[in-house]
Amino acid sequence: MNTVITGLQWGDEGKGKIVDYLTETADVVIRGQGGNNAGHTVIAKGEKYVLHLLPSGILWDDKINVIGNGVVVDPIGLCVEIARIEGQGVEIGPEKLLISDRAHVVLPFHKELDAAREISLGDQKIGTTKRGIGPAYCDKVNRCGLRMADLLDRPFAEAQIVRRTAEVNEILEKYDLPTFTAEAVIEETFTAFERLRPHVTNTIPVLHKAWKAKQNLLFEGAQGTLLDIDFGTYPFVTSSNTTAGGSTTGTGLPPTAIEAVIGVCKAYTTRVGSGPFPTGDEGLSEYLHNLGREFGATTGRARGCGWLDTVLLRFACMVNGVTGLAVTNVDGLDEYEELKICVAYDIDGTHHDLPPADRSSWDRAKPVYESLPGWKQDTTACTEYDQLPENAKAYLTRLSELCEAPIAFVGVGPDRAQTLKR
């Protein structure tokens, strides 16, 4: 079954773990959007792996992993990541990792442009991961970016880098940020590119061949629906389509190739960076941080935490066409007495069951809660859905009703074995 895994909140839903679980039956694991702003933590055989650009299937010996055309690739960051994962005993040869020749390149100055933009926004800053993702996508859309295929034509790429560096330096000087010499950008980029060159190929026919051969395709989403450039809490979003549609435009496989969409959400809500967060709750944040939970894999930032928000989840299930929900981190709520679920937003006295588009409505949205009793029981040792405490099952059933999507998986801990199938 060709399956998209997509985040239903603001990222960090535990997608890596679900992807890892489903990878067992997949032949090809594909990333179609985002870049190394993503951070997927996978715990397998007791070892912890943090992946940013590498698809989670990389941890398996017999899977093909594809970084699709819709991804923005930082060659230097990817080389560091490959070396780190290889250092953990995982081999990454060209037959196992394919990088689309159409994928755009994140250049060193994109990270500084990211910083410059944040400075210019002042207290309205997005809170980006500073990985240069927005500026790289800007260059792509502005038709002045470099693609992997362009790096194969070194004279062309060098001329383009010289031109772009001069433009970029003008902006950086304005913010007193370090400027670049084109020579240094060229040197650093091509040193990294030489390591990646054997992996760069036209991935589209490879994917189509796998599809036609009825191999199992797994599309690994990064970030989440509320960070989607079209459907998220704009402008506090990332710069790609994180929703299911990004899996087709970002890979060259058509919508008809997709057979299932698994939407991943936590049993509560978290977000990093700036922007609206109606169900954010200091008490719950403190509780989860005290448990050592909810610190970002990419930046180490403490995530803001809040109650489950089914206004957002309902919308996310709609725009992604979710066929099954994967609810992770259920164990995070094990000791809580009473749990709240947001069922609507009250905006100026009117209840809304879908999120607004305009910024001022977001600022005025007050969550309308339902309360459910906690289960006050350790769930981490459960190996089957039916072993979950009755109150945990009631909480999941209510979540499913409100989102109009069935529960497919439940996560009760970080290990591969702690994913329960419904």
Residues with active-site annotation: 12, 40
x/- contact string, 337-356, with ligand IMP (CB under 6 A)? --------------------
Q: What is the footprint of ligand IMP within residues 34-63 (CB under 6 A)?
A: 37-39
Contact 73/148 with Cβ under 8 angstroms? yes
Q: Does 115 bind ligand IMP (CB under 6 A)?
A: no
Q: Does 108 bind ligand IMP (CB under 6 A)?
A: no
Instruction: Considering the complex, state which of residue 59 and residue 72 has its C-beta at the smaller distance from ligand IMP.
Output: 72
Return the number of other C-beta atoms located less than 10 Å from residue 178's C-beta. Answer: 11
Phi-psi region at 189: left, alpha or beta (left = phi > 0; alpha = psi -120 to 50): alpha
Query: How far is the C-alpha of 358 from the C-alpha of 339, rounded, in Å?
Result: 29
CA distance 78 to 51: 10
**Residues 253 to 292: which contact ligand IMP by CB under 6 A?**
272-273
> Of the ranges 6-14, 160-168, 340-348, 384-392, which one interacts with ligand IMP (CB under 6 A)?
6-14
For residue 295, the one-letter residue type is: F
Of 100, 129, 169, 233, which lies in the binding site for ligand IMP, with binding defined by CB under 6 A? 129
Q: How far is the CB of 405 from ligand IMP (least distance, A)?
A: 22
Cα angle, residue 325 at apex, residues 69 and 255 outer, rounded to 5°: 35
Of residues 212 through 241, those in contact with ligand IMP by CB under 6 A are 222-223, 227, 236, 238-239
Q: Which stretch binds ligand IMP (CB under 6 A): 8-16, 186-194, 260-268, 336-344?
A: 8-16
Question: What is Dmax (Cα atoms) for the chain?
Answer: 65
- Burial class from Cβ neighbours inside 10 Å (0-12, 13-18, 19+) for residue 24 reads exposed
- Using the minimum distance from each CB to ligand IMP, give the nearer residue, 12 or 139: 12
- Estimate to the nearest angstrom the gap between the alpha carbon of 86 and the chain centroid: 22
CB of 9 vs ligand IMP, minimal distance in Å = 9
Q: What angle do CA 228, 269, 50 make, to 5 degrees?
A: 70
Query: DSSP character for 56?
Result: G
**Closer residue to ligand IMP in complex, CB, 118/334:** 118
- C-alpha 104/C-alpha 92 separation (Å) is 21
Number of residues that bind ligand IMP (CB under 6 A): 21
51, 82, 133, 405: which one contacts ligand IMP (CB under 6 A)?
A: 133
The residue within the footprint of ligand IMP, chosen from 2, 11, 49, 320 (CB under 6 A), is 11
Q: How far apart are CA 390 and CA 297, in angstroms?
A: 32
Q: Which of 51, 97, 126, 392 binds ligand IMP (CB under 6 A)?
A: 126
Residue whose Cβ sits closest to ligand IMP: 273
* 238: three-class secondary structure by DSSP: coil
Q: In whole angstroms, give the CA distance from residue 370 to residue 349.
A: 17
Distance (Å, whole) CA 388 – CA 404: 21
72 interacts with ligand IMP by CB under 6 A: no
**Residue among 84 and 352 whose Cβ is closer to ligand IMP:** 84
Q: Is 9 in the site for ligand IMP (CB under 6 A)?
A: no
Candidates 14, 57, 134, 332: give the one binding ligand IMP (CB under 6 A).
134
- Which two tokens mark 44? 């397998």
Under the criterion CB under 6 A, does residue 242 sit at the interface with ligand IMP? no
Smallest separation, CB 273 to ligand IMP (Å): 2
Q: State which residue, 238 or 323, has the beta carbon closest to ligand IMP.
A: 238
Tokens 């991961």 correspond to what residue? 129
Smaller CB separation from ligand IMP, 160 or 223? 223
Task: Return the structure tokens found at 345.
Answer: 């937003």
Q: Whose Cβ is closer to ligand IMP: residue 127's or residue 276's?
A: 127
Q: What element of type H or E holds 223? A: none
Query: How far is it, in rounded angstroms, from Cα 57 to Cα 16?
Result: 10
Q: Footprint of ligand IMP on this chain (CB under 6 A)?
A: 10-12, 37-39, 126-129, 131, 133-134, 222-223, 227, 236, 238-239, 272-273
